[in-house]
């Protein structure tokens, strides 16, 4: 029987090194108690933030010192929790860490409202009197920019305290989908029993046996149907939370609030939706090519993940994937390449799926730790691309930490998704140009087309759905599981018009955790668009363009995201990068159609 192993059955070399944060849970406990006690030091500054330039500098430096320790405490607990969501001890640690984070945010919630009492001229005089404050000029600009949407210190403290409660819909969803739900076991064509999981569902949908794919598809979505009311309630309340918080901060819509945080114009969102909708013909052609390649009368939803080659791609072990990735990032410079290799050798990555492990993949860490990458590696091409993606995030963090102080080392998701997708794009170019195995090359091209489909088109469809459900709530409409099904099903029908869009796929919204992240998913689409443009420039112009890109990554949060990408040579206020990326998608569709003799 093919089943998901327990975590204890996986070798330590394939597990991330959380002991590099704290050697033991006891050390975490000591750090937790220490930093919780030190929060009172920050509370003493309330009402005195802008008394003197020297006092302001002292507060900012002390806040950094304490918050860096808070982030380590929170990161360790969160990562331990992700290892096995069934482990109640670590779920308790994460709950305590979230409470600490909420308490810390509440404690310093007075800082920005008091800073906003200053004018731009006041800030200039403070910097002149205390030159060390010059390091915070972008921070001051960002704080003053948000003045119309910042409430009184009392209200800000209340909103910060509610942060833990506001995360309840997402927490409930994650526990339900990762810890409590158990998916059926099915028999594959080889006679083996296979346990369906969130981690392996996509891989099973690539099995060459169509009847097996159908069974997996139906069993998987039927399991979701049994929890539709719970998931629908969680998503409804997550949307309501976004809307209420936006109103509390004097925004007309939740979308305006979400995009104003990183200072991304709302027009960027609208441009993305409009440009992609205007180019659905590429996606429709991809669907038709799949139907022809599979030699079926009608493309079904359980056919969507199938390779255009009509079979499963060749196995790519984790070791093979790491070698390919290190070679692929060579155009980004020797130092970048060597740091990728070192990270892979030093247990940045938690490689394989285990029972209870959080689904999906992510890159995490803090200013004072190494990066940590969670994978559910499946020995396939898709997993290799996902690893390259997460390494892009990790190296972004490393470069930003090298060049920026703590308060600028973090960066927005809008920029983050560019760094991850640049690595995917470089991996594609490297494999297509250097691998002699024709089957592998064809599957790589097919995988990259799938990445386009699932990133530029699918995530834009998600973004459209997310905007629609928030608009329904803002207009006073009722969000029920049936309404979610209707809205999502209509979008799926529009985007995949050549295929048979059945009733089960209308439930797909239930398995997407990113809908709880508040206008997050559109950034995958803008990210791949910018990444394609950046890679084309690097491959054409060499080290000069690579240096510009590394400089953009190293900016971290010291500039607004639109300006950061301009440093790398991309204007995301224009539809040009999106249209260019869509054109590349079309070119690759032509190339694979020629390779496979499809129309």
46: exposed, middle or buried (C-beta count within 10 Å: 0-12, 13-18, 19+)?
middle
What Rg value do the Cα atoms of the chain yield, rounded? Answer: 24
Within 176-226, where are the H helices? 201-204, 210-225
Start-to-end CA span in the chain (Å): 41
111: exposed, middle or buried (C-beta count within 10 Å: 0-12, 13-18, 19+)?
buried
Residues whose CB is less than 8 angstroms from the CB of residue 576 and which lie 6 or more positions away in sequence, other chains included: none
Q: What is the DSSP string of 220-277?
A: HHHHHHTTHHHHHHHHHHHHHHHHHHHHHTT-SSHHHHHHHTTT--HHHHHHHHHHHH
Query: How many angstroms separate the CA atoms of 18 and 23, rounded?
Result: 8
As beta bridge partners, residue 374 has 350, 362
Of the candidates 83, 157, 164, 390, the residue annotated as catalytic is 390
Report phi then psi at 185, rounded to 5: -105, 135
Token pair for 496: 């995949």
Report phi then psi at 500, rounded to 5: -85, 105
C-alpha distances in Å from residue 175, one per residue of 26, 512, 540: 25, 14, 47
390 is a catalytic site residue: yes
The candidate with the shortest Cα–Cα distance to 237, out of 172, 288, 146, is 172
Query: Do 585 and 452 meet the contact criterion of CB atoms below 8 Å apart?
Result: yes
Q: Which residue has the tokens 């849970």?
A: 25
Q: Which residue has the tokens 């969130």?
A: 198
Query: Do 38 and 114 meet the contact criterion of CB atoms below 8 Å apart?
Result: no
Query: CA angle, 550 as apex, 433 and 146 as ends, to 5°?
Result: 130
Residue 242: count other Cβ atoms within 10 Å of its Cβ. Answer: 26
Query: How many angstroms separate the CA atoms of 410 and 528, rounded?
Result: 20
C-alpha distances in Å from residue 508, one per residue of 214, 224, 492, 517: 15, 9, 10, 17
Residue 386: count other Cβ atoms within 10 Å of its Cβ. Answer: 22
C-alpha distances in Å from residue 76, one per residue of 83, 91, 140, 337, 364: 11, 12, 30, 27, 10
Query: CA angle, 202 as apex, 198 and 203 as ends, to 5°?
Result: 110
272: exposed, middle or buried (C-beta count within 10 Å: 0-12, 13-18, 19+)?
buried
Query: Do 412 and 561 meet the contact criterion of CB atoms below 8 Å apart?
Result: yes
Query: Do 464 and 273 meet the contact criterion of CB atoms below 8 Å apart?
Result: yes
The candidate with the shortest Cα–Cα distance to 126, out of 68, 56, 211, is 56
341: exposed, middle or buried (C-beta count within 10 Å: 0-12, 13-18, 19+)?
middle
Longest dimension (CA), the chain: 77
* Catalytic residue numbers, as ranges: 390
């Amino acid at each position: 029987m093919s089943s998901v192993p327990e975590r204890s059955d996986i070798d330590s070399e394939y597990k991330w090194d959380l002991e590099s944060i704290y050697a033991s849970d006891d050390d975490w406990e000591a750090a937790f108690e220490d930093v919780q006690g030190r929060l009172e030091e920050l509370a003493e500054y309330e009402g005195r933030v802008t008394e003197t330039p020297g006092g302001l500098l002292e507060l900012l430096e002390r806040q950094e010192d304490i918050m860096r320790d808070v982030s380590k405490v929170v990161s360790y607990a969160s990562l331990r929790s992700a290892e096995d969501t069934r482990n109640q001890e670590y779920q308790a640690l994460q709950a305590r860490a979230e409470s600490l984070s909420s308490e810390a945010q509440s404690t310093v919630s007075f800082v920005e409202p008091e800073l906003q009492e200053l004018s731009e001229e006041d800030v200039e005089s403070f910097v002149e009197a205390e030159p060390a404050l010059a390091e915070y000029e972008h921070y001051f600009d960002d704080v003053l920019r948000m003045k119309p949407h910042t409430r009184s210190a009392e209200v800000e403290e209340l909103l910060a305290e509610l942060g833990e409660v506001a995360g309840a819909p997402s927490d409930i969803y994650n526990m339900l989908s990762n810890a409590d739900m158990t998916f059926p076991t099915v028999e594959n064509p080889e006679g083996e029993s296979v346990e369906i999981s969130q981690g392996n569902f996509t891989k099973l949908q690539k099995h060459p046996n169509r009847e097996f794919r159908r069974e997996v598809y139906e069993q998987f979505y039927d399991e979701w149907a049994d929890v539709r009311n719970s998931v629908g309630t969680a998503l409804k309340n997550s949307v309501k939370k976004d809307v209420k918080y936006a109103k509390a901060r004097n925004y007309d819509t939740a979308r305006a609030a979400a995009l104003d945080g990183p200072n991304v114009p709302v027009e960027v969102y609208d441009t993305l939706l409009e440009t992609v909708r205007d180019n659905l013909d590429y996606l429709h052609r991809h669907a038709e090519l799949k139907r022809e390649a599979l030699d079926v009368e009608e493309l079904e939803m359980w056919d969507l993940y199938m390779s255009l080659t009509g079979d499963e791609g060749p196995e790519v072990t984790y070791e093979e994937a790491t070698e390919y990735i290190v070679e692929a990032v060579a155009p980004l410079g020797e130092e970048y390449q060597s740091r990728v290799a070192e990270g892979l050798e030093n247990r940045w990555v938690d490689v394989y799926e285990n029972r209870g492990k959080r689904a999906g993949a992510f890159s995490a860490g803090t200013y004072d730790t190494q990066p940590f990458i969670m994978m559910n590696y499946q020995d396939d091409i898709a997993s290799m691309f996902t690893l390259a993606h997460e390494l892009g995030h990790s190296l972004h963090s490393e470069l930003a930490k090298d060049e920026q102080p703590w308060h600028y080392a973090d960066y927005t998701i809008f920029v983050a998704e560019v760094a991850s997708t640049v690595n995917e794009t470089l991996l594609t170019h490297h494999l297509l140009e250097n691998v002699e195995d024709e089957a592998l090359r064809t599957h790589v091209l097919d995988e990259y087309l799938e990445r386009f489909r699932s990133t530029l088109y699918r995530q834009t469809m998600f973004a459209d759905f997310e905007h629609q459900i928030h608009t329904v709530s803002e207009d006073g409409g009722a969000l029920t599981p049936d309404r979610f099904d209707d809205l999502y099903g209509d979008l799926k029908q529009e985007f995949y018009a050549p295929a048979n869009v059945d009733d089960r796929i209308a439930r797909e919204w239930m398995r997407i955790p990113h809908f709880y992240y508040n206008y997050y998913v559109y950034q995958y689409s803008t990210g791949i668009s910018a990444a394609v443009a950046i890679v084309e420039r690097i491959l054409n112009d060499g080290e000069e363009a690579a240096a510009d890109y590394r400089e953009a990554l190293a900016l971290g949060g010291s500039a607004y995201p639109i300006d950061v990408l301009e440093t790398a040579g991309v204007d995301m206020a224009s539809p040009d990068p999106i249209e260019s990326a869509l054109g590349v998608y079309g070119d690759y569709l032509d190339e694979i159609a020629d390779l496979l003799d499809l129309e």
